[in-house]
């Protein structure tokens, strides 16, 4: 096991910024590219739990990601300290590149939510619901035929009908933003191992957990194959540092969601304590007092809700981070190979039960509140409405859309005006894909189907990249509300 085979300087394209081949410097270059990207900036106006929140103290996707970044750094440093104590740094190829190890973890944590659409999981549901109902018909109208190929039926259409934030995140950083990160940095972001077009069952590797969600789209499949080959990762397996990013996310959001609920007055300190203790009893049946003891330790006679949360969070984060680091060391052979088919904070420990308890309390008593559900419903309606408004772009032929791209006269004046509203960066990505099709498609039908696939991706890229506020503003504008 040599981490210098996993942490490399290889990028998808030669860097135009530096000729340095030092591993640490290349991860620092990654950091600069990521922090300065617009994808990160947009997270400040995307939902964590409370859509359209005006209270700056309540978490957005950006503030949540910053917390995940810090937790990931904490876990990574504990892992390195353990390897150092065991005298393993040199044998594992980590001596001298410990900073690179931490950098990769931190930046994967910061980026982990960049693919989330406006209004979070409700945004995903809106896109997927509309696509499943209308995408096939839109293609038939655009092509003027009901005839479709196996590629279209088994790959392209299923791929489009399963929007997933993790897969979109990869597409944003590699295809749309073209950050040209190192292969190691991209790999550290990829949580799941199957393409979106492939059903969850029948993946064939026996890794149910690692393939429970799609990790990438058909459009990025060549990228995945290249990176996995370069880093020596077997098909269906994961990059080792991804386990740390995943654990940091789990630790951060389970506590943060409850803290925000207290800040907003959805839960009082007494109801929060009661809900936590009731949920813990249901799960542990009196066999462990771990969580009640932490709650009791965090309480004092005159403590405020904020003071309680601070004490509670500090103890729990320290315990969970220590456990995640311990598990990384204990399961290191499987983790290095990317075959550990479970998270670091697994289902067989009281630490995991504590995480599940917090998540269930949030699901039962926070996510179902009107403060959360009403804005989500507004976002759901607005996103589906925008998909319907932009539908004319999906129902004209490849030749007609090409004429609009060339700014020629077009009888499709609605489509022409809608096209002008799309992001230039997204349009450029679409045009690169169309140019690639011209060189690789084996038949006219395949070319037609692939062009339409990337045209649909263009629209999904544009809408899913919107902030919560902009979705409502754009829908109101184009609906003349």
Question: Residue 356 and residue 284: Cα distance in Å, rounded?
Answer: 11
Q: Give how far Cα 286 sits from Cα of 17, 278, 280, 342, 390, Å.
A: 59, 11, 9, 26, 56
Long-range contacts of 178-181 (CB under 8 A, 24+ apart): 179/33, 179/34, 179/37, 180/11, 180/12, 180/13, 180/15, 180/33, 181/11, 181/12, 181/30, 181/33, 181/34
Tokens of 92: 């594992």
Residue count (the chain): 481
Residue 73 CB coordination number (10 Å): 18
Query: b/e string for 17-52 if b means 16 or more Cβ within 10 A?
Result: eeeeeebbebbbbbbebbeebebbebbebbbbbbbb
Are 338 and 84 in contact, with CB atoms under 8 Å apart?
no
Are 166 and 190 in contact, with CB atoms under 8 Å apart?
yes
Residue 353 CB coordination number (10 Å): 20
Tokens of 249: 């996310």
- Give the residue numbers marked as catalytic: 64, 112-113, 249, 417
CA-based max dimension of the chain = 76
DSSP string, 31-50: HHHHHTSHHHHHGGGSBSSS
Question: Residue 283 and residue 352: Cα distance in Å, rounded?
Answer: 11
Q: Give how far Cα 366 sits from Cα of 124, 253, 256, 268, 451, Å.
A: 20, 13, 12, 12, 43
Question: Residue 30 and residue 377: Cα distance in Å, rounded?
Answer: 37
Angle at 60 (CA atoms; ends 59, 65), nearest 5 degrees = 90
- In sequence order, what are the residues at sequence separation of 6 or more whose Cβ sits closer than 8 angstroms to the Cβ of residue 222? none
């Amino acid at each position: 096991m040599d981490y210098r085979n996993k942490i490399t300087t290889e990028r998808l394209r030669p860097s135009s910024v530096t000729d340095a081949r030092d591993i640490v410097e290349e991860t620092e270059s990654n950091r600069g590219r990521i922090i300065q990207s617009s994808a990160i900036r947009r997270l400040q106006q995307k939902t964590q739990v409370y859509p359209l929140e005006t209270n700056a103290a309540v978490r957005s996707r950006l503030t949540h990601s910053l917390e995940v970044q810090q937790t990931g750094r904490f876990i990574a440093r504990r892992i390195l300290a353990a390897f150092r104590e065991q005298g393993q740094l040199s044998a594992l190829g980590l001596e001298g590149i410990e900073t690179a190890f931490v950098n990769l973890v931190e930046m994967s944590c910061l980026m982990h939510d960049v693919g989330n659409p406006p209004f979070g999981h409700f945004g995903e549901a809106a896109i997927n619901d509309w696509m499943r109902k209308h995408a096939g018909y839109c293609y038939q109208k655009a092509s003027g035929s009901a005839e479709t190929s196996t590629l279209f039926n088994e790959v392209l259409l299923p791929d489009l009908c399963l929007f997933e934030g993790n897969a979109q995140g990869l597409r944003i950083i590699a295809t749309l933003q073209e950050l040209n990160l190192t292969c190691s940095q991209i790999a550290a972001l990829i949580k799941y191992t199957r393409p979106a077009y492939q059903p969850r069952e029948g993946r064939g590797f026996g890794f149910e957990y690692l393939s429970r969600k799609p990790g990438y789209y058909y459009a990025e499949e060549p990228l995945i194959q290249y990176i996995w080959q370069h880093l020596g990762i077997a098909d269906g397996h994961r990059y080792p540092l991804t386990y740390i990013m995943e654990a940091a996310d789990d630790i951060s959001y389970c506590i943060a969601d409850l803290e925000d609920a207290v800040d907003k007055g959805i839960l009082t300190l007494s109801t929060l304590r009661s809900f936590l203790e009731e949920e813990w009893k249901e799960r542990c049946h009196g066999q462990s007092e771990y969580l009640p003891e932490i709650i009791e330790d965090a309480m004092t006679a005159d403590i405020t809700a904020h003071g309680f949360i601070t004490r509670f969070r500090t103890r729990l984060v320290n315990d969970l981070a220590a456990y995640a680091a311990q598990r990384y060391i204990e399961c290191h052979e499987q983790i290095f190979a990317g075959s550990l088919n479970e998270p670091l904070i697994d289902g067989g420990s009281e630490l995991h039960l504590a995480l599940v308890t917090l998540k269930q309390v949030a699901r039962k008593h926070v996510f179902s509140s009107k403060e959360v559900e009403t804005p989500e419903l507004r976002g759901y309606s607005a996103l589906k409405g925008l998909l319907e408004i932009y539908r004319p772009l999906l129902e004209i032929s490849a030749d007609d859309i090409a004429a609009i791209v060339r700014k020629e006269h077009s009888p499709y004046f609605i489509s022409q005006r809608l096209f002008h509203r799309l992001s230039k960066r997204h349009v450029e990505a679409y045009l690169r894909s169309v140019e690639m099709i011209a060189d690789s498609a084996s038949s006219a039908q395949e070319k037609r189907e692939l062009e339409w696939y990337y045209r649909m991706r263009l629209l999904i890229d544009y809408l899913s990249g919107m902030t919560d506020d902009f979705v409502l503003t754009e829908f109101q504008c184009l609906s003349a509300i």
